[in-house]
Structure 1
């Protein structure tokens, strides 16, 4: 399973460890992914997603899962999130 947020598309970033002597070695910054269950108010169902903590705060800030999915472009969403978005569009 890849380490990519299903709602924001946030993935790993590559950078350097920098020592005191300014030696640089490659390293990877991974997103803080959590398994969460989010409730859809329109569909009256809950869905399990693997979401970064930053993405979880963003979803709550934008008024919940339904608003987030309707506002987000499809290329950022995972396949499961796109299916939920299609169900939301049909229900609306």
Structure 2
């Protein structure tokens, strides 16, 4: 399963880890993605989403109903 936020679309960032001697190796920065259950009142059921911390803030701000309708318009399965 990919490390990707369903709400914001955040995914890993790639770059170099630079040591004190300026030796460079490839690394990646993972987003803070967690599985979270939300109650969907219109359908009377729980849904489970993989969301980042910023995605959780977005849901708090706009509401779960608006976010779910946007996800469905995008073609994401819930």
Match of 2:49 in 1: 49
Gap runs ≥5 in structure 1 = 81-92
- Structure 2 length normalisation: TM-score? 0.78
* C-alpha displacement of 1:60: 0.8
Greater share of strand residues, 1 or 2?
2
* C-alpha displacement of 1:14: 0.5
- Structure 1 length normalisation: TM-score? 0.68
Gap runs ≥5 in structure 2 = none
Give 3-state SS (helix, strand or coil) of 2:38's partner. strand
Give 3-state SS (helix, strand or coil) of 1:9's partner. coil
Greater share of helix residues, 1 or 2?
1
Taking the TM superposition and a 5 Å limit, the aligned residue runs for 1:1-92 are 1-62=1-62, 64-71=63-70, 74=74, 78-80=76-78
Number of residue pairs the alignment of both structures matches: 77
